[in-house]
Amino acid sequence: TLTGILIGLAQLNCSELKLKRLFYRHGLLGVDKLLSYAITEWLTDIKKNQLPGILGGVGPMHSLVQLVQGLKDLVWLPIEQYRKDGRIVRGFQRGAASFGTSTAMAALELTNRMVQTIQAAAETAYDMVSPGTLSIEPKKIKRFPHHRLAHQPVDLREGVAKAYSVVKEGITDTAQTIYETAAREHESRGVTGAVGEVLRQIPPAVVKPLIVATEATSNVLGGMRNQIRPDVRQDESQKWRHGED
């Protein structure tokens, strides 16, 4: 279905998809038949000619492809350089540089993906253990995945700065939430109510540092990756710039 196709395309990473030009001389009656014909033709062409390249961008496969490409360059570039002008040392330098960049990028992407998975699980756990009924509404965990992807740190320094800001804000929010809820309960039900409310806030307060730590780590890893490959940040910023609208 069209929904399934769109969901699948949303998971691709650094994959290029080309829709072939369609010709149908006899005409089609109705928009439904037109869409059905176009989707069928495009899917057939993708399965026959473009599937291997697309699968290389699904989930962590892109990182593995980068590793394989780095190993290939490490072996092939010296041979290519030697055939070209006999400068095999230059070929080894190019191969080592390509291998180092590919390996670093793959490691950073895999680690960042794992950190983001842990963060998503921690956010779900936070929602589950947070008190359901409060006299004062607690601060919500901010989830703006498209905003994060469209506004990534430019380099390692900015990543560290954003990580520090995330940690500072997380600690402040947790302390303020506990204080405000305890103060409100103390006004309405006395010391017993305040103590009870503090105890109710302990489970989410335990989970919150994990969310803060994973988000801060993701900022640092993103800054390292974007410093190595600035073009990746530009591509993702353009890809997700409409997600925050």
- Give the confidence band of 6 by pLDDT, cuts at 50, 70, 90: very low
Looking at per-residue pLDDT, the higher value among 149 and 231 belongs to 231
Mean pLDDT of all residues in the chain? 77
The confidence band for 230, taking pLDDT boundaries of 50, 70 and 90, is: confident
Dist CA 16 CA 11 (whole Å): 13
pLDDT of the residue at 131: 73
Q: Please say if the pLDDT value at position 166 is more than 80.
A: yes
Residue 45 has what pLDDT?
82
Residue 59 pLDDT grade (very low, low, confident, very high; cuts 50, 70, 90): low
What is the mean predicted confidence (pLDDT) over 172-191?
A: 82
SS (H, E, C) the chain: CHHHHHHHHHCECCCCCCCCCCCCCCCCCCHHHHHHHHHHHHHHHHHHHHHHHHHCCECCHHHHHHHHHHHHHHHHHHHHHHHHHCCHHHHHHHHHHHHHHHHHHHHHHHHHHHHHHHHHHHHHHHHHHCCCCCCCCCCCCCCCHHHHHHCCCCCHHHHHHHHHHHHHHHHHHHHHHHHHHHHHHHHHHHHHHHHHHHHHHHHHHHHHHHHHHHHHHHHHHHHHHHHHCHHHHHHHHHHHCCCCC
Residue 148: which pLDDT band, with cuts at 50, 70 and 90? low
The pLDDT value given to residue 28: 74
Distance between start and end Cα atoms, the chain:
26
pLDDT at 26: 77
Mean pLDDT for the stretch of residues 157-183: 87
Q: What is the band of 236 on the pLDDT scale with cuts at 50, 70, 90?
A: low
pLDDT at 7 over 60: no
pLDDT at residue 3 tops 60: no
pLDDT for 35? 83
User: Taking 80 as the threshold, does the pLDDT of residue 111 lie above it?
Assistant: yes
pLDDT surpassing 50 at residue 133: no
